[in-house]
Structure 1
Amino acid sequence: MLSDISHLRAKLVHAVNEHESFTAHPVVQLSQQLDGYILEYQKALFTKGGEKR
């Protein structure tokens, strides 16, 4: 899951640089998708008692 987050983060950075805007539709979509991945990761950590794996 961490590799997915890292990959999506890289795509987001690229999109921001490409569109030169934080509010461009593709940038917002990627940001929202990344938020979802991070939320799922945090939920997984919480349910595993805080383990970082």
Structure 2
Amino acid sequence: MKYKKELGGFLVLLGLAWQVFSFIRSDYTPTQVILAAIFAYLGMRLTYFVYFKNNK
């Protein structure tokens, strides 16, 4: 699979986000936790791309 590494990283982040959000505030819905994990993952990927891939 082409994106196996990225999918694994996202699933780990999703699992951690699920635990943190349920520990801090239990009134978040599962959809909100999943969306927060998706946007956090995309933000990390974008930051990595901007800072490390464009330094040529």
Give me the TM-score of the superposition, normalised by structure 1: 0.49
